[in-house]
Amino acid sequence: MDRHIGDITFPSTLQVKKQEMLDPRMGVDKKSDLIADGTFPSDGDTIYMKEGMCVDVKEERCTYMLIDLSKIKATDYSGWYRMNDYVDAKTEALNITSVDIEGTAEEPDIEYATIEYVNTVVSEAIVSKLNEGY
């Protein structure tokens, strides 16, 4: 695998005290920002993004994965895959319900999803897309 290991050796940890992402490419306010000029750093025709990078869209409360760099600005969003589509379909297929602290069943609520479950579903989505040839 061709992996870029980094340009700077940073021999310590960070204690972040700002409610922002360390890499501003990883979050946008609106879906339309994904394809807008100037959202991601560029130099001429070079856009500094990589296929497989995930970007959170605040307005939709979901994550998009860049699957085709050549279509990053396509108005039909064909360069992007909405990760939550898989999560929503998987949740609906499993008919998952959550349990509140009193133990009564209720509609699914993201507050009660365990991080392990979310990681499993997202991992399955990535593997599924890779198996489809992305």
The per-residue pLDDT for range 42-99, each reduced to its tens digit, is 999 899 999 999 999 999 888 999 999 999 999 999 999 998 765 565 555 555 444 4
pLDDT of residue 43: 93
* pLDDT-based confidence at residue 118 (cuts at 50, 70, 90): low
Average pLDDT, the chain: 78
The per-residue pLDDT for range 33-48, each reduced to its tens digit, is 999 999 999 999 899 9
What does the buried/exposed string (b/e) look like for 58-97 if buried means 16 or more CB atoms within 10 Å of the residue's CB? Answer: eeeebbbbbbeeeebeeeebebbbbbbebbeeebeeeeee
Sequence ranges of the domains in the chain: 24-131
Percent of the chain with pLDDT over 70: 66
**Residues 36, 75: Cα–Cα separation, whole Å:** 9
**Residues 19, 3: Cα–Cα separation, whole Å:** 29
